[in-house]
Chains A and B, each alone.
Chain A
Amino acid sequence: MKAAAAALPLIALLGFNSGCGKPTGQAKQPEAVMDFHQLFSENCSACHGVSGQKGAGPRLNDPLYLALVTKQDLYNVIEKGRPGTPMPAFAQSSGGPLAEKQIQAIVDGIEKDWAKPVNLQGAALPVYSIAKAPQGDAKRGQAQYMRNCMMCHGFGSFKGMAGPITDPNYLALASDQYLRTTAIVGRIDWGMPDWRHRIPGHVMNDQDISDVVAWLASQRPKGYMMAENQSTNNSSSNRSGPGSEREPKQ
């Protein structure tokens, strides 16, 4: 009797610890969260800015951008990430932290809160997906760059006020799709104009944009990019999760 009494607290003491006995190695996932604002601020705001703008990563709180992409485009990027860039895969199937329905909640939230009708001022909206865009020509692209981009991004020893985008290490970390997206919608939050407003009276067309991207891609160090150059959708996810090892193909 006394023995049992002495042993009981001991068992209780160790019993609560029993979870430690089993190898888990799995982070506990708070899958219950479905609120868009919480999901966005916990998972995305670090790179995309507190309310989807003025972050270091692409601006998502941008009606123009949201007019350009489909929900499926958004879903695909969030699910698989952009291998080779700092955009991690978020789907659990790709080793990320979020369940499918959470990703869907983010996509729906982005569209619901941030998409607004945009006035295209008569210009045609270019194609978003690099896969569906016209084939680019690097030679012509250089000329387009000199005309549309050089004032701000510089060329050669001229750095430009916004800093070079021809830096090989920058290009090694940015996907062609991102270059195309930004070439179209600009970064209004940081002062970069969209495709209609770079030179007075001149609107870049689909082909111009493809050409510039092709030229920029040709400045990228050899061997650096990237399966999804051709398409955002076929990103064969070779990543095991955010922050996991990712070796550039040398």
Chain B
Amino acid sequence: MLRSVYNWLDKRLYLTKLFQSTAGHHVPANSGSWFYVFGSATLLCFILQIVTGTLLALVYVPSTNEAWKSLQYLNHVQYLGWYLRALHNWGSNFMVALMTLHMVQVFLFGAYKYPRELTWVSGVFLLVATLAMAFTGQVMRFDEDAYWGLGIGASITGRVPFIGDRLVHLLLGGPIIAGETLSRFFALHVFVIPAIIIGIVGMHLRLVLTKGINEYPVPGKPVRRDTYDGEYEKIIEKQGVPFVPDAIGKDLIFAALVLVLILAFSAIFGPAGPSGPPDPTRVDTVPRPDFYFLSVFAALALLPDWMETIVLFVMPVLMVGFLFILPFISGTGEKSARKRPVAVLSVITIFLVLGTLTYMGDTAPWSPKMNAWSGQSVPVDLLQHRTPLEMRGALVLQNKQCRNCHSLEGHGGQRGPALDDVATRLTRDQLIRQVIQGGGNMPAYGKNLSPAEVDALVAYMLTLHPPSHPPARDSAQPQISGNPNAKERGVGEAVRKSMTGKSQ
């Protein structure tokens, strides 16, 4: 009776065939090794992230005013809400770590070589997408760490030649980090990137099925394009076992272990943040990104300015690009790590560099220079012949920690442009606007500056130009100078904007 029901269903749904071609497909017996468990564990993490993420989305409110509060609610009010957050957080940490292990294993085992190039390429896409998830996820916390992560991310983006500004605009939903920014990242984190990941995972898995799992590499048996397919078929014929139930055992054990570890880590270490609420003027806090990005930020902090652009744009493009073309430039040859010293060495080097940078990022304060505001004096010749008001402006500049991002005579943070000759670039109105509305990676100070402070600050900045080079004139900005009330209008409008746009 049951049998006939099954047969009826099978005739229509091809269940047996489906099983045979997927879970039941034959894999080389020696690939049922402990080294082969990381891929499935990564997938497990991803599924866990979908489940916990969906649950989080039930409470989370993606608005600047509510996001931080709803996380506080989860942490302190909602029963086990903190645990849910912890699971999502640790699930993400584990996913990144396992994915990395998986990738290293695939690389060292030569599994990316012919004929599995596309499996590797789709994997690289997954790497990028997963890191994008991790980044957008840390923005969801919308605390000070997120704010700074975003700020720095935006400043990196802003340096893309030619289209930098537009990219920043696209990314942030405007010139500054505000409500639109969070909505955008929410959409990315919850809809767009997961959909992409699910799609690519499907392709990744299908390629794993159709092209087979890499056999355990044997030193001295190089891959050749013309013979490999035949050899692999022979291996499967001779010692192939069905993935389910024979080869899956270790995956299941490892998956259980990962699950237990995630549960335990979540219970022991709890969720991440949210740290202080995002307040652009509190530069004296030490926000830091999640650990997988620490290395990038450490590199940023340590590099001399002129190298930043190279390291930020050229290196990632080169690295990801290299990953993409790897199977095409070394698609054949030895698979075993024992015969590939260069491969092993490069893995070790990369991890040492990343590890060192992460360690530095974790221990050293990174840019912006957190104590420039109180430690870098205003150069004497930039104070000479200033009026008392302008002097106070210099003090406001220090007090409001502008120096943490802006240098004077080479001293101070390098996040923003040096201000030594800012008066040659910006007019009074533009200076007011920049201070109040921010822009690029500069926080909007808005209501955090009193009108007197703005006035003093701008008065001082207007004195910052070389004697030979006159300050910028309003006439370059006819639309502003045409209005006698431009200053008042500018400030009022900017304050209004920053108040409606920014979190309280």
Contacts and interface: CB of A to CB of B under 8 A. Distances in A.
Contacts of A199: none
A242 interface: yes
B149 to A, nearest CB: 13
B453 A244 contact: no
Interface string B259-284: 00100010011111111100101111
Nearest to B403: A46
A13 interface: yes
Nearest to A54: B380
24 contacts: A3-B253, A10-B101, A13-B97, A14-B94, A18-B268, A20-B272, A22-B269, A23-B272, A25-B144, A27-B370, A43-B371, A46-B372, A46-B375, A47-B378, A48-B377, A56-B386, A56-B398, A86-B398, A162-B388, A167-B388, A169-B451, A174-B392, A241-B282, A245-B447
Interface in B82-124: 86, 89-90, 93-94, 97-98, 101
Given A3-B257, A21-B86, A24-B275, A243 B282 contact: yes
A170 interface: yes
B204 interface: no
Interface centre among A17, A24, A56, A57 (most CB of B within 10 A): A56
A224 B452 contact: yes
Interface residues of A, number: 62
Interface in A1-57: 2-3, 6-7, 10-11, 13-14, 17-25, 27-28, 41-50, 54-57
A56 B452 contact: no
Given A21-B271, A169-B389, A242-B399, 19 more contacts: A2-B34, A6-B34, A10-B101, A14-B93, A27-B285, A27-B370, A45-B377, A46-B372, A46-B403, A55-B377, A56-B386, A56-B392, A56-B395, A88-B374, A163-B390, A165-B388, A242-B374, A245-B279, A246-B448
Interface string B349-392: 00000000000001000000011111111101001001111111
A89 B419 CA distance: 26
Contacts of A165: 388
B144 A17 contact: no
User: Which size bracket describes the interface of B in this complex?
Assistant: 35 or more
A173 B396 contact: yes
A55 to B, nearest CB: 6
A141 interface: no
A55 B383 contact: yes
A186 interface: no
B30 to A, nearest CB: 15
A111 to B, nearest CB: 21
Contacts of A221: 452
A169 B455 contact: yes
B383 A170 contact: no
Nearest to B286: A27
B389 A163 contact: yes
A70 to B, nearest CB: 24
Contact of B89 (A21, A190, A246): A21
Interface in A148-193: 153, 159, 162-165, 167-170, 172-174, 190
Given A2-B34, A169-B451, A20 B291 contact: yes
Nearest to A57: B395
Given A169-B452, A169-B455, A241 B273 contact: no
Given A3-B253, A245-B281, A43 B375 contact: yes
A162 B400 contact: no
